[in-house]
Amino acid sequence: NAGVTQTPKFQVLKTGQSMTLQCAQDMNHEYMSWYRQDPGMGLRLIHYSVGAGITDQGEVPNGYNVSRSTTEDFPLRLLSAAPSQTSVYFCASSYPPGEQFFGPGTRLTVL
């Protein structure tokens, strides 16, 4: 099993550009989530999904969109990147709700 995978590992964007961070898991987990990690702020929940076709907002959802068309994939879309979105992004999955397995992260810089 590959576990939770994320692409890309690094990305630099200009303000106003859009992009999609990819996340996939091969553990047949129902629950998937996206976090951002900023220095001194811990892990903050952006969006999560409890199954295909079901998504909900977390603590910091503004500026991000998600969709869940399959159990395996949970992409995160930045609609119009802003410097405040410079962060490390982690995707995670779990089944049943409990231990979350994290992906390796994507380090995003917005200039």
- Binding site residues, other proteins, CB under 8 A: 31, 33, 35, 40-45, 48, 50, 58-59, 90, 94, 97-100, 102-105
What residues are paired with 102 via a beta bridge? 92
Q: What is the DSSP letter of 15?
A: T
Residues comprising the chain, all counted: 111
CB of 14 to other proteins, least distance (A): 25
Which of residues 43 and 52 has its CB atom nearest to other proteins in the complex? 43
CB of 76 to other proteins, least distance (A): 16
Which of residues 82 and 101 has its CB atom nearest to other proteins in the complex? 101
Which of residues 19 and 50 has its CB atom nearest to other proteins in the complex? 50
Region of residue 69 (phi > 0: left; psi between -120 and 50: alpha; otherwise: beta) = alpha
Neighbours of 3 (CB within 10 A): 13
Tokens for 80, please give them.
């119009």
